[in-house]
Amino acid sequence: MQEEVDIVRIPEDQLRILRNVLGERIYFFYSDKLQVEPVGGSYVFWSNGFALALSTITQAPGKLRTYINISADYRTCPREASTYYEFEINVSNAPLWQEGSLQFGKLSSLKIFSDPILMIEIYQNCNKAGERGRLHDCAMVFYSQSSKYMLQARQELVGGVNIMLNDALIETRIKELKLRHTLV
């Protein structure tokens, strides 16, 4: 079996984008179609790609809001017939501008208004040796002073991401995953 680090490493340019989130406030989740479904006594919001809208703590006059666009796309392992999921992360001045999937005036949004983000954990799990099918799962947990938010790949939808706001549900999900990076 190939080395796990060969296929779970998030590129340095994308980690740099996530580091810029630290100390910032998550303002909204924007999506073209943000949906909600009940899961184990709680709710999961999900979409096929979305943007985190960030507002800086010291917002300068005339400064544009920053959008961190995140989707979870599958890849095929070069040496195996399995697939795995990894995040695609980019930054722009508009929600999902580079993917061209959203049009202004037709956005769904989920208000967050969090405290500044103190830490981000990135999880990417691996199946046991010999298992086929989905090889990796990916998730991110954003921690603020008063709450946490989890983004997790939605395996049945290429590019899809689940958004979890319930602490108990987040704790249940991260028990199954392996921590890969911590940004503080």
Number of independent structural domains in the chain: 1
Of residues 165 and 105, the one with the higher pLDDT is 165
- Specify the DSSP element, H or E, that contains 15: helix 12-19
Confidence check: pLDDT of 1 > 50: no
Q: What is the pLDDT of residues 101-154, one digit of tens each?
A: 545 556 788 888 888 999 999 988 765 555 555 556 789 999 999 999 999 888
Q: What is the pLDDT of residues 42-76, one digit of tens each?
A: 899 988 777 888 876 555 666 667 788 888 877 76
Nearest to 24 by CA among 1, 44, 53, 61: 53
Quote the domain boundaries for residue 17: 5-183
Q: What is the pLDDT of residues 20-34, one digit of tens each?
A: 889 988 888 888 778
CA angle at 151 for the pair 169 and 134, rounded to the nearest 5°: 95
Instruction: Report how far apart the first and last C-alpha atoms of the chain are (Å, whole number).
Output: 32
Pairing of the two strands 83-92 and 134-144: parallel
The three-state secondary structure class of 170 is helix
In degrees rounded to 5, what are phi and psi of residue 125? -90, 165
- Per the DSSP assignment, residues forming a β-bridge with 38 are 43
C-beta separation of 138 from 85 below 8 A: yes
